[in-house]
Amino acid sequence: MALDQLILTKFGPEADQEMILNMGPQHPSTHGVINFIVQADGEVMTKAVPAVGYLHRALEKIGEIVTYPGYMPYTDRIDYLAAMFANEGYALAVEKLLGLNVPPRAQYLRAISCELNRIASHLVSAGTMAMDIGAVTPFPYALREREWINDLLEALCGARLTYNYHRIGGVAFDMPDDWMPLCHKWLDHFDKILDEWDRLISTNEIFVQRLAGMGVIPLPMAIDYGLVGPNLRASGFDYDLRRAHPYGAYPDFTFEVPIGKAYAGRAGVVGDCYDRFYCRVLEMRESVKIVRQALEKFPGGEFMAAKVPRKIRPPEGEAQSRIEAARGEMAYYIVSDGGERAYRVRARTGSFLAMGIIEELSKGLMIADLVALIASLDVVAPEIDR
């Protein structure tokens, strides 16, 4: 829908009395190119309508044009902060179509790479959230740790942002010989960093006061809007695909699923912005646990399934895969007509679902709160538009 049409349909004649403010797509804290059309009475918003589509690259359509293995690098671009998950989801769906069994070593490598990527993604999310609230210092601290993860993943797969690591039937490269001690060193270091992070920003009084009881998503509303991942769990619902419907190597690991418990203290409400922030911080701790267990139980064997055909032509049919990505449940739906290229590729992502709730939540919030709300929902522009 064109922008002027959107304004006409979404904002009634009462908009004449109030200010219509165009927030984005170049606004510093809309996390990429997202546009919000804000109707505000002074600082208080009546409505904030997201206008998405600035980063639409027709990635799903591309999936119908390129071959199955050829689509793998494109999935990186679906969510550039957590590219591993998009890789894994796509690989899982195609493997389901082919009926391939992935060797355990590859599954463990997938789990390790995904959990490291989850930490990296949550670090960016928590860091930008602090920055949107006005504290600039935590952000470089988070990015410093992310750099280290990038180094680790680079040693694993040769890329720092768009990994293109997972393959249909396994992963692209085996773990280098000297990689495990490097990873252990970082994990030991990162435990202290998380404590430091809590001292630095999570317990900061101004930060807590800004977020406590703000942008509350009650559980029924979260389910109605189809929120997924940390956003849903922060509303107090214990649902994590890694445990509810385990895939890959996840049945082997024990970990907690952090859910929202009004962490902000007296002023906190279950499902407020602070819960969403803090759930992510806790999830980083759980991811560290998972990576430790995976390194401990790391199996031998092949890192690629033996029977992957050179030309992948799945039999006619359809398959769906669901994984717990950094921004919540990510689902791939692939229809095959028996050819070399998919008939239809569909990706379902968490950020897009999170965008839907903003219009209702923004009623009565202040403009400063909208920024915090967007940050707490952890939306990433390419994942919304694909």
Partner 1 sequence: MKEFIDQLVLKWGYDPAQWPLTEALYIAGMLVIGIGLTTFGAVFAGLVSWWERRVAGRMQSRVGPNRVGPGGLLQFAADALKLILKEDLIPDEADRLLFRLAPYFVITGFILTFVVLPFGYHLSATHMNIGLFYVVAITSLVVVGILISGWASNSKWSLFGGIRAAAQVVSYEIPAGLALMVPVVAAGSLSLHEIIRAQGGWPWDWFMFQTPMGYIAFFSLFVSLLAEGNRTPFDLPEAESELVAGYNTEYSGMRFGYFFLAEWGNLWVMSAILTTLFLGGWQVPGVSMAQLTAWEASGQVPFYFYLLSALVFCAKVIVLVNVVIWIRWTFPRIRVDQMMSLCWKYLVPLGIVLVLATAGVELLSFEYFGEQAKVQAPLSSTRGMLHFGFFAVAGLLPLVIFIVKTFQNIRIAGERVDLTNW
**Shortest distance (Å) from residue 277 CB to partner 1:** 12
What tokens were used for 12?
Answer: 């009634």
**Shortest distance (Å) from residue 95 CB to partner 1:** 42
Beta bridge partners of 40: 19, 45
Beta bridge partners of 348: 331
Fill in the DSSP letter of residue 198.
I
**Shortest distance (Å) from residue 168 CB to partner 1:** 41
Rounded to whole angstroms, how far apart are CA atoms 286 and 264? 20
Q: What is the DSSP string of 312-357?
A: --PPSEEEEEEEEETTEEEEEEEEE-SSSBEEEEEEE-HHHHHHHT
Which of 124/157 has CB closer to partner 1? 124
**Shortest distance (Å) from residue 181 CB to partner 1:** 17
Rounded to whole angstroms, how far apart are CA atoms 282 and 286? 7
Prior bond of 25 cis (ω within 30°): yes
Which of 145/385 has CB closer to partner 1? 145
**Shortest distance (Å) from residue 48 CB to partner 1:** 13
Which of 144/297 has CB closer to partner 1? 144
Asked if 117 contacts 84 with a C-beta cutoff of 8 angstroms, the reply is yes
Beta bridge partners of 341: 67
**Shortest distance (Å) from residue 74 CB to partner 1:** 32
Asked if 262 contacts 268 with a C-beta cutoff of 8 angstroms, the reply is yes
Which of 191/256 has CB closer to partner 1? 191
Which of 199/297 has CB closer to partner 1? 199
What tokens were used for 377?
Answer: 């929902």
**Shortest distance (Å) from residue 21 CB to partner 1:** 5
**Shortest distance (Å) from residue 195 CB to partner 1:** 7
**Shortest distance (Å) from residue 45 CB to partner 1:** 12
Q: What are the φ and ψ backbone dihedral angles of 308, each rounded to 5 degrees?
A: -80, 120
Which of 335/366 has CB closer to partner 1? 366
Residue-wise burial string across 270-300, b where 16 or more C-beta atoms lie within 10 A, e elsewhere: bbbbbbbbbbbbbbbbbbbebbbbbbeeeee
Which of 28/251 has CB closer to partner 1? 28
Question: Residues interacting with partner 1, by CB under 8 A?
Answer: 19, 21, 27-29, 42-43, 130-137, 139-141, 144, 192, 195-196, 199, 201, 204, 206-207, 209-210, 366-369, 371
Going by DSSP bridges, is the β-strand pair 166-167/170-171 parallel, antiparallel, or unpaired? antiparallel
Which of 12/140 has CB closer to partner 1? 140
Angstrom distances, CA of residue 234 to CA of 116, 230, 250, 259, 275: 21, 6, 22, 5, 5
Which of 132/240 has CB closer to partner 1? 132
